[in-house]
Amino acid sequence: MEELTREHKARLVAGASTWKTVSGGRDLPELLLADGPHGVRSQGAQGDSVGIGDSLPAVCFPPAVGLGSTWNPALLERVGNALGDEAARLGVNVLLGPGLNIKRSPLGGRNFEYFSEDPRLSGTLAAAMVRGIQARGVAATPKHFAANNQETDRMRVDVTVSERALREIYLPAFEQVVRDAGPWALMSAYNRVNGVFASENHWLLEEVLRDEWGFDGLVMSDWGAVDDPVAAVAAGLDLEMPPSGRHTRVLEALEEGHVDEAVLDSAIERLRRLAARTARPTAVDDRASAQAVALDAAREAVTLLENDGILPLAVEDHTRMLVVGEFARTPRFQGGGSSRVQPTRVLNALDALRERVAGTIAFEPGFTLSPGADTDLADAAVAAASDADVIIAFLGLPDHAESEGFDRTDLLLPADQLTLLERLRATGRPVVVVLSNGSVVDIASWRDGIAAIVEGWLLGQEGGRAIAEVLLGEVSPSGRLAESIPLRLEDNPSHLTFPGRDSQVVYGDDIFVGYRSYDTLGTQVAYAFGFGLSYTSFRYHDLQIVEIGRNRWAVRVRIRNTGSRAGSDVVQLYVAADGGEVRRPAHELRAFAKVKLAPGEEKPVEMEIGPRDLAFWNAQARRWQVEPGRYRIEVGASSRDIRLRGEIHSPGDGIIDPLRADSTLAEWERNPVSAKVLEQMRAGMPAGMAEKAPELLAMVRSTPVMKLTTWGLGLTEEIVQDVIRKANDALADGTTE
């Protein structure tokens, strides 16, 4: 550090170019950064940050919307390994992914790049992926920290959100990744959080991320996110990307003592640590292996939503199958923007079906992927339907409908596709719909009379083959919804406040995001969080809940494949606080396990519940709190399909919070020292008042005790301050019994 001049230090905390850091001597070589979360988009040293220019070919895995639907951490770790291999092969030291932001609204333009509406599912999958990437000596970069849940006005919108919603919804996935996978880098978000840009937010970057969670990696900005580079460095941002040429302002601030040199030294130390950790990115498996992993991921992402029995397709030689929809020939397999990968190949479903089916398969595009209807194509498809035994309609959102950089305004499929589907259904032939979409689309308005609905999301370059294998039964679908599909957009809890305007958005839905709202309000949904069909069936039995420590339980259940086909199911564990004082969601996902079973096979599943799984964020005491009382344990195949129920009783966390000057009578009653003082006061009350005490107490329970000093109860400010001091001293020296 000593040989670095201040000028050099100020230069090091900004990049050298769009994708490179500045070299700072022998132990600080330049590092190559590259997107993205589901494939390497490497443009070498130059290039753009929004995916306009070409990048080197690399394997394109399913984007997070697909990976999230697998609910399979072990698979995600393999995807991480393969991504690390790809990055190492291309000389990339730092891979800019995974994306962890919560899908607050189904309209989010980058929902395809994020895992779920639920933080536990997001965090568990992302941690597995980070472990996989970093096992190859390549840094992962969980992003975008934090509360970057919309594209509208993303570079300056101020997200107003309660600390409880941050702690319980928008931060936990990042926290889980930091604590469980130790990412070597992390990217702060574009937006403001409660008035302060994320890349200049000391509370986020230092107090929460480093002091509380123990993050020891490097924090980089999103591209072009830094508003004030001096404020950013002071707040704990280590690297401005790309360089904005304003490092001279950092140097001036250093010279004038507005920024402590130690802050820069810490940033450079973290740059050095990142360089040391990524000094030797090492590919272990080859590209063919990466393609095989991408295929496995696509297979497990496919989510079956409806099936009247037509799937898997029984395709005898004489069966006349008609495939309709340009997506069957030209798959939409990833999303738009900075994550866009140049795939090594693209497998489409039409070819994959034709390779597997002896009979002829007719094809009609039915519509074009560019905006605007083409009635000739639709007419041709409907005409061809007249002599088909089964129609497979590949519908979905074309590229121009969703992307990084803008949000959608409705959930509808393109009108021309809906019209075409109506006409196909009117032929009376069975119709199977296969969807390609990065974010939720409305299904309820057109699903009646459709024989089967396969939600394919976006499946990466190998997805066309995976879809064919599921349709033909070579693979049993095992995807589960990582995001609820509402009956109507208006049912979504964020609807009234998304995406805000005038650079302001208020998260009025607070902690009630996705199923946390639907299940609490009892709102009907089209398909529930955690839902997905299989080609077989599963029975859960033998629930056992065993206490294994203070506020720790093992939850054991047995699952059996009761059908005639192999398949995988995702056993989901939800916890519901019962009767506590605090408003909580109806239940919350706390653990899950994906289980593969042969027909008739049965396996035990064990999941654990710990204190954090019972806790809520007490915003006043600014801590996680476990209330004593009863908690319901729900084991289910989705948030709406609870198969087994049990309960646990928690003693609570036993923590007594310090009294504050504005502590209420209720809070005094919960503190042993002040409760005793209240007892003495009641004993000393004039008889008449004591009788009236109950309703009086009910009235004043939520009143700060300090306010009662003006009620002529003989309670003075000095007494109140004295009690508070005694109570807190007793807490501090542990004599509070």
Task: Tell the smallest beta-carbon distance from residue 48 to ligand GLC (Å).
Answer: 8
Q: Check if the beta carbon of residue 407 is closer than 8 Å to that of residue 499.
A: yes
Q: For residue 79, what are its two tokens?
A: 């995807």
Task: Tell the smallest beta-carbon distance from residue 223 to ligand GLC (Å).
Answer: 4
Helix (H, G, I), strand (E, B) or coil at 390: strand
In the bound state with ligand GLC, the residue whose beta carbon lies nearer, of 15 and 123, is 15
Reading phi first (left if > 0) and then psi (alpha if -120 to 50, else beta), residue 224 is in: left
Task: Tell the smallest beta-carbon distance from residue 249 to ligand GLC (Å).
Answer: 22
Q: For residue 548, what are its two tokens?
A: 């294994």
Q: For residue 551, what are its two tokens?
A: 């506020």
Cα–Cα dist 446/181, whole Å: 42
Task: Tell the smallest beta-carbon distance from residue 408 to ligand GLC (Å).
Answer: 18
In the bound state with ligand GLC, the residue whose beta carbon lies nearer, of 96 and 133, is 96
Task: Tell the smallest beta-carbon distance from residue 241 to ligand GLC (Å).
Answer: 7
Q: Taking CB under 6 A as the rule, does residue 49 contact ligand GLC? A: yes
* H or E, element range at 121: helix 119-134
> Taking Cα atoms as reference points, which of 387, 379, 255, 233 lies closest to residue 322?
387
Contact pick of 143, 210, 299, 643 for ligand GLC (by CB under 6 A): 143
Cα–Cα dist 392/108, whole Å: 28
In the bound state with ligand GLC, the residue whose beta carbon lies nearer, of 220 and 724, is 220
Q: Check if the beta carbon of residue 618 is closer than 8 Å to that of residue 624.
A: yes
Angle between helices 349-356 and 463-471 (to 10 degrees): 50
Q: What is the DSSP string of 484-506?
A: -EESSGGGSTTTTTSS-BTTEEE
As a three-state string, the secondary structure of 586-641 is CCEEEEEEEEEECCCCEEEEEEEECHHHHCEEECCCCEEECCCEEEEEEEEEECCE
Cα–Cα dist 575/562, whole Å: 27
Q: Taking CB under 6 A as the rule, does residue 240 contact ligand GLC? A: no
Q: Check if the beta carbon of residue 80 is closer than 8 Å to that of residue 61.
A: no
Cα–Cα dist 478/214, whole Å: 36
- DSSP annotation of 170 reads I
Cα–Cα dist 443/485, whole Å: 8
| Residue 51 main-chain phi, psi, to 5 deg | 75, 20
In the bound state with ligand GLC, the residue whose beta carbon lies nearer, of 232 and 234, is 232
Q: Taking CB under 6 A as the rule, does residue 145 contact ligand GLC? A: no
Those residues whose C-beta lies under 8 Å from the C-beta of residue 172, and which sit 6 or more positions away, are 119, 120, 123
* H or E, element range at 295: helix 287-301
Evaluate the CA torsion angle 139, 142, 143, 146 in order and state its sign.
Answer: negative
In the bound state with ligand GLC, the residue whose beta carbon lies nearer, of 201 and 338, is 338
In the bound state with ligand GLC, the residue whose beta carbon lies nearer, of 191 and 517, is 191
CA angle 524, 397, 477 (to 5 degrees): 65
Q: Lay out the site mask for ligand GLC across 183-222 (x = CB under 6 A, - = otherwise).
A: ---------------------------------------x
Task: Tell the smallest beta-carbon distance from residue 187 to ligand GLC (Å).
Answer: 6
In the bound state with ligand GLC, the residue whose beta carbon lies nearer, of 47 and 312, is 47
Q: Taking CB under 6 A as the rule, does residue 35 contact ligand GLC? A: yes
- Identify each DSSP E strand in 397-492 by its residue range: 431-436, 452-455, 485-486
How many binding residues for ligand GLC (CB under 6 A)?
A: 7
Task: Tell the smallest beta-carbon distance from residue 178 to ligand GLC (Å).
Answer: 18
Contact pick of 31, 32, 90, 96 for ligand GLC (by CB under 6 A): 96
Task: Tell the smallest beta-carbon distance from residue 335 to ligand GLC (Å).
Answer: 11
Per residue in 203-242, is it b (16+ CB within 10 Å) or e — as a string? bbbbebbbeebebebbbbbbbebbbebbbbbbbbbbbbbb
Q: Mind telling me the catalytic residues? A: 222
Count Cβ atoms below 10 Å from residue 42 Cβ, excluding itself: 26
Task: Tell the smallest beta-carbon distance from residue 222 to ligand GLC (Å).
Answer: 5
192-193 β-sheet, strand order:
196-197, 192-193, 158-160, 504-506
Q: Taking CB under 6 A as the rule, does residue 43 contact ligand GLC? A: no
Task: Tell the smallest beta-carbon distance from residue 231 to ligand GLC (Å).
Answer: 20
* H or E, element range at 569: strand 567-578
In the bound state with ligand GLC, the residue whose beta carbon lies nearer, of 438 and 567, is 438
Contact pick of 134, 149, 221, 338 for ligand GLC (by CB under 6 A): 338
> Taking Cα atoms as reference points, which of 649, 630, 629, 561 lies closest to residue 598?
561
Task: Tell the smallest beta-carbon distance from residue 208 to ligand GLC (Å).
Answer: 21
Q: Check if the beta carbon of residue 737 is closer than 8 Å to that of residue 705.
A: no
Q: Taking CB under 6 A as the rule, does residue 103 contact ligand GLC? A: no
Task: Tell the smallest beta-carbon distance from residue 217 to ligand GLC (Å).
Answer: 16
Cα–Cα dist 694/596, whole Å: 59
Q: Taking CB under 6 A as the rule, does residue 223 contact ligand GLC? A: yes
Where does this chain bind ligand GLC (CB under 6 A)? 35, 49, 96, 143, 222-223, 338
